[in-house]
Each structure stands twice: as structure tokens, then as C-alpha cells.
Structure 1
Amino acid sequence: MEMDTWWRLVDTARVAVGDRADDREDPDDPLPEALVNVLSKLEPAEIVDFYAKHVEVSDLAYTYPLCMAAYLIEGSWSNDGFMDFRGGLILLGRDTFSRAVKNPDSLATVPTVVRMCREEGGWIGYESLSYLIEDAYQKSQGETDSFGAAVEAAVKGMARPGKPLGEEWDPGNAEQIRLRLPLLAALSPVLD
């Protein structure tokens, strides 16, 4: 699946839910179901291709600078939390995702991030993006028995980073973080 096609599918779901597309905190968050609906209209092989591209896109955001941004925004430093952060970053759409990969400090302009840093609610992380893709397959095919093997074959041989890419940052070094992510550091209560 081409990258443009992949992002077009994500953005189609975002357009379907309108102004509720950027906040995962709501218990009735409409974006996950909208994405399942969009993906379930694809052929089974295309859903598997979407999954494989999801792995590739998520890996693009597997960097130390974004990990530190997640720390400033969410207040935690864990592999699971960073995986959820990247899933939520994808759901923010191509433009926000691409800007954040190039410059994680750009996330300081995302309204949900601003609310999170001010402890006024909101959440961008999303734990089970891969499960949404499996749900779409289930909805399309009526089963998921064939999904696991198809996904395993699709991602087999992909070059995957074993740790975040780039120079490692110390989350305990507030001065270093302030220098590299000044906008997020100014918003975040983590460094206070």
C-alpha cells in the first residue's frame, strides 16, 4: 500500500468525525469506530497491507526526541506508553504526525496537547491501534483466524528499530530537554 493511500484512509476517518478527531479521552470517542468502518470496506489483503504500513509509520516516530516529547506531554517514560503515544500521534493525521517526526516541539501547538500539559483534560495516546485494524478485518471477513498469519507474513523481514532512533536523551536532564524542546518544556508540568 502506498503511503499516500494509507494516510488518505486515516484522514477519511478523521473527516467523518469532524472536530472530535483529535482527543482520545472521551469515553465515546468516535474516531476508532470510524477508522474500523473505513478499513472494513477494503479487501482483506488491503487491510493486512494497512497493518504492515501501520508498523512502518509507527517506526518512523520511534525516535528519542519524540520519546522525550511524550514524556513532557504524558508525564511518563515507558515503552508501552511511548507505543500508545505513537498510535495516538498517527490518529492526529498526516500533517501533525509529519511535523512532529521532523520537529517534536511542534506538538506544543496541538490544542489537545496544550490542554494535557495544563492538566485541563484531553489525551492523544491510543493503546490499541493494531486492534482497530484487526477489528476491521473481523468486520469485513467475519473471522480473524487468518489475520494473524497474514500480518506475520506481511511484516516478516521488515527492518525494525530495536530502540528509539537518534541520540539518547536523559529524561532526568531538564536543562537538556529545555534546550531541545523549548516549547513543550515551557508547557509541561513535568519539569517543574
Structure 2
Amino acid sequence: MNDNITEINKDTFWKLIQSAKETCGQDMDAMMDFLKDRLVSMGPEQAQNFHDILHAYEDLADKFGLWDAAGVMKEYGCSDDGFIDFRAWLIAQGRDTYLSALADPDSLAEVIPYEDCCFETLSYVGDYAYEQLTGKSAYDQTDWARYETLLAELEQDIVYKGGIEFPREGPELKQYLPRLCTAHPGWDGKTRWNVQQKEMRDLIRAGKAYDQRQAPKKKHRSHGGEAR
């Protein structure tokens, strides 16, 4: 597919991801080869740009509410490393799916899971291309001041669902992600947060309090005539 991309920015990043998706479907090895070959053809600067943008999108998706969704979708739960691989897999689904998942993780009920929702090697494709071109690592070449500016720029396009920053336990999670939990009946209804950690207990309590504040208020029936 000729997509005429010669420079990687936030828009052409997603255009290249879409080209790879349309060309390779769910074949992740083929998608890796497709992306690497394209980046090599564009040169080291564009390989570095792709690397930085991909990792910025992974960082911007580092939210407990999305992690909970990953735990429902993945067959054996979702570890720290597994969540990184899940975020890469989510990016591989394209811009609309990625942004929708952050606006509402429950939208992932409409996404067909495959390969246990993991795409570890996608995180490395920019680095692989950069190393082939220069013999150096894209990780070592990242300009961190520029990266912070990039994060702020990319975040402007993201609308996060309220409460996405909190982890949830089983009953609360079913209320937060009702369609996704229904779409994955094999999920055991459990979460695997380490509640022995005070920080995690505090976050779970904060999420529960947030959800209670957002819940519709029950109307009380008046007795003895109309309310005044």
C-alpha cells in the first residue's frame, strides 16, 4: 500500500499504523516487518520519531481503569509487563480504538481480542529500525526534554473517562465496565491488585468514593402530600 509517508509525526504515525493493520491484519510478525521496513526506508530521524511517539502513547495510556480492562480481556490476568504489551497491542488497533478506550475502557467490548492482547515487539520496532540504520539504540538517543513536550502535545487529543485513574475490585469493576465484563464471561470476576499495599488500598477506596459520587441520586418518595 502506497501511503506516501516520508515524515513521522502524530498524524502520520497513526496513518502508518493503519497501513500496517490493513496490510497485515492480525499477523503481528508481518506487521513488525512492515513497520520496520518502512522506518528503515525513511531514515534514522523518522525511526526515532516513531519510537518516541509510540512510547509516549503507551505512557499516556498508563491508567488503572485501562489496566482493569486489560485484566478482563486477557486470559490469565495482566501483570506489569503484560500491561505494557497490552498498551502496545491497543495502539496496533488504530487511533480510533486507542482514543475510544481512554474515553471509555468499556468500549473495548466491541474489540475482538487476539494473541492474548499482547504485542510486546511493537514497543521495539522503532529501536530495531534505528539500530539497523545507526548501530545505536533509540532508547539512548531520546531527548527527554523534547519527550515531555511530545507528551503534552499528544495528550491534547485525549479525553479520559472520569475515574480512569483508579483501580477497582470485582463488584465495582463490573459497574465500571459492564459491557466488557459481559463480553468476556470467562473472566473470573476477580482483580489481582495487591491490597497489602497501603497505596493500593487508598486508590481502591478513592475509586469507590468517586463512583459513589457519580452514581445517580435516588429520588425519595414523599409522604403525606406533594413535596414543597
Contact 1:58 1:86 in 2 (8 A): yes
Aligned length: 168
Structure 2 counterpart of 1:22, from 11, 26, 46: 26
Structure 1 spans left out of the alignment, 5+ residues: 117-121
SS in structure 1 at match of 2:188: coil
Provide TM-score, normalisation by structure 2.
0.65
Counterpart in 1 of 2:56?
56
Counterpart in 2 of 1:158?
148
4+ runs of 1 displaced by more than 4 Å? 154-157
1:121-170 per-position Cα deviation (integer Å, ceiling 9, x unaligned): x432111223211222244x1x432534323x35676288xxxx944223
Q: Give the 5 Å matches for 1:58-137.
A: 58-74=58-74, 75-111=76-112, 113=113, 122-137=115-130
Report the residue type matching 2:105 in the other structure: P
Counterpart in 2 of 1:37?
37
Superposition CA RMSD, Å = 2.4
- Residue 146 of structure 2 corresponds to residue 149 of structure 1: no
In 1, Cα distance between equivalents of 2:10 and 2:37 = 20
1:71-101 per-position Cα deviation (integer Å, ceiling 9, x unaligned): 0011413211100000111111112111111
Report the residue type matching 1:98 in the other structure: L
Structure 2 spans left out of the alignment, 5+ residues: 1-7, 152-162, 190-228
In 2, Cα distance between equivalents of 1:124 and 1:55 = 17
Higher relative contact order (CA 8 A, sep 6+): 1
Q: 1:15 to 1:135 in 2, by over 3 A?
A: same
Provide TM-score, normalisation by structure 1.
0.76
Task: Select the structure of larger CA radius of gyration.
Answer: 2
